[in-house]
Chain A
Amino acid sequence: MKEAQEFVWMGAIPLQIHLHESEVTTVPPPPPALILAPRIGYLPLLLPLIKPYFSSTLPPGVDTVWFEYKGLPLKWYIPTGVLFDLLCAEPERPWNLTIHFRGYPSHLLIPCEGEDSVKWNFINSLKEADYIINGNCKNVMHMSQSDQLELWNSVVNANLEAFIRSSSKLKSGTIEDDYASKSSLSSQKSQKMIGEADTSVQTKTGKVPVRLYVWNVSEDFGDMEDAPPIDSWDRISYVNRPLEIHREEGKCFTLHDAIKTLLPELFGKKRKPKGEGNISQPLETGSTADDDPEIKLLRIQGIEPKLETPISWVANHLRHPENFLHVCVYIKVPSAKSL
């Protein structure tokens, strides 16, 4: 588990940040800022690193910072890595973003008053995940202010050791999966959450905090390079629903099963998960595989896990510090189903 956590925490996106031309007051314009952004972090937290590049060229006034990619204002409370996985079908390195210090689009984005807003949002997500996993927010509520601050600072600094120390006070548990443990996909040792002295805690509710970002791609495209850009958040369906794992004897609840469970509107009830390694087979009703939406791409923490991976492994190893699993998925729905 530790290796996977390290992988996740060390993940970073190289950014090339350009000041919006309307805010450039000097000639020549300042060169873009080159910043390595932690995947598990948030864009507003990078401001102390970015501002020095541009402070001498900004017009007078109060800063209201926001970021934009190809005209799309970026939601600051979505982790940087998730934004990248979602908006760059073909990963762009470095990722070219535009920064604005004026003209905050408050009709589109909720206000961000610096690090405090991001912290508040993070703690609330942590509480939400706590509620989903345990049926209450007690774990987070009982953390002292200084412990919460310590936890938050470890995220700001992408410091895994500090995070492990702080989060030992937060019993987030791991998802038990008999199937996965028997097939030795993860050793007993790795199933323990690092920092907890005792054995892994079965989540009380059997629910997994998941945030799904779905892009319904209407056209076919061969390469990811040809994917049309996302020009509005209205094109993305955001699904913030706990995943209920249905444990069946001898069967593994896979990532594919998880997606189908989270999007029953698309995948319908006529299909049943068949178990590990298999794509679900049509039942006797005669429905064909063509009826199911096609998952064109599924990304978590910048990787594309096999759909047959046990969801318990995915959730335990690839979750974000606030205990949510963020999943970006491009789906193509057969035209017969569209309105």
Chain B
Amino acid sequence: AGNFQFPEIGSLHLIRCYPPASAQAFAEKWKLNNPAYPPWTWVKSLEVPIFATNQVEEGYLSLENVCIVKSNDDEVASCVEGEASLYDKEDEESTDSATLSGNDNVQPYYFDFHIIYSASFRVPVLYFRAYCSDGRSLGLNEIESVLPANSAKVLLESKWTFITQEEHPYLNRPWCKLHPCGSSDWMKLLFQAVEKVDRPAMELYLVSWFSVVGPVIGLGIPIQMLKEP
């Protein structure tokens, strides 16, 4: 893979402008095509004291409070909490818009997703965590059992991705991480397979990356996001 001109994903991190172009493009496309989902937002690392002292922010893409509902008969639907924030969680039964067929034994789980750039591997990395209505965090085993059946299958069979529990790069808390080790390789494959496109490679990068990574954690990506606007 030596001669391949890999698009410099480094600019997601190294340009240090707010917000990085591809992250913004991704967020905008997502919003356009996934109206039922909360939007991705760009979180500045202001809570990291050292980075709070300058104009230019480090940061990451954040999508929080995504409700994934798993019923007892293994049917899964992703519903949306919209503006639900952490301290409103007690009220989620009333705002729940799940479309299950009247099954009362549903257990809503909430996922937070952060896309953070790894300077070492030069790829975006997906971090996520899950918790119950009462705010209790789910352990790794529980998360794997809560994921949609397809995701679990993808996870098991994929040699590109697996989930581990690691520390969030900014938040000093344990989160789950989707391992990036194979990411560069399959991203290169993806770009080699895609014919010449007019859209900036950067913008396409994050969307393409998420199209592979998303299904593993139960977030499908609408096909519209992969097409020209």
Residues of A within 8 A of B (CB): 75, 106-111, 127-128, 131-132, 137, 209, 214, 216, 232-235, 237-242, 263-266, 268, 331, 333, 337-339
Contacts and interface: CB of A to CB of B under 8 A. Distances in A.
Contact of A240 (B47, B120, B181): B120
B46 interface: yes
A263 B52 CA distance: 12
Contacts of A107: 137, 173-174
Contacts of B16: 264-265
B120 A131 contact: yes
A127 B181 CA distance: 9
Given A107-B137, A339-B46, A265 B51 contact: yes
Given A128-B121, A234-B49, A265-B16, 18 more contacts: A106-B137, A107-B137, A107-B174, A109-B174, A131-B121, A137-B181, A234-B172, A237-B48, A241-B119, A242-B120, A266-B50, A268-B54, A331-B50, A333-B50, A333-B53, A337-B54, A338-B53, A339-B52
22 contacts: A107-B174, A111-B174, A128-B120, A131-B120, A131-B121, A132-B120, A214-B50, A216-B49, A233-B172, A237-B51, A239-B50, A242-B119, A263-B50, A264-B16, A265-B56, A265-B58, A266-B53, A331-B50, A333-B53, A337-B54, A338-B52, A339-B52
Interface string B34-56: 00000000000011111111101
A109 B167 CA distance: 8
B182 to A, nearest CB: 10
A338 B50 CA distance: 9
Interface string B110-140: 0000000001110000000000000001000
Most buried by A among B46, B52, B166: B52
Choose among B120, B137, B181 the residue with the greatest number of A CB atoms under 10 Å from its CB: B120
A110 B181 contact: no
B165 interface: yes
Q: Which 8 A-B pairs have the closest CB atoms?
A: A237-B50, A265-B54, A241-B119, A110-B174, A233-B172, A337-B53, A216-B49, A339-B52
A264 to B, nearest CB: 7
A127 B174 CA distance: 21
A144 to B, nearest CB: 18
Contact of A265 (B50, B121, B169, B174): B50
Nearest to A218: B49
B53 A265 contact: yes
Contacts of B54: 265-266, 268, 337
A108 B165 CA distance: 12
B189 to A, nearest CB: 15
B4 to A, nearest CB: 12
Q: Which of B53, B58, B119: most chain A CB closer than 10 A?
A: B53
Contacts of A232: 172
Nearest to A331: B50
B119 A235 contact: no
B142 to A, nearest CB: 13
Interface in B7-56: 16, 46-54, 56
Contacts of A339: 46, 52-53
Contacts of A109: 174
A108 B120 contact: no
Interface in B39-81: 46-54, 56, 58
Nearest to A339: B52
A128 B166 CA distance: 14
Nearest to A109: B174
Contacts of B173: 107-108
A108 B51 CA distance: 22
Nearest to B166: A110
Nearest to B57: A265
B169 A240 contact: yes
Interface string B132-173: 000001000000000000000000000000000111010011
Interface in B89-122: 119-121
A183 to B, nearest CB: 31
Contacts of A106: 137, 174
A239 B45 CA distance: 12
Contacts of B50: 214, 216, 237, 239, 263, 265-266, 331, 333
A331 B51 CA distance: 13
Nearest to A111: B165
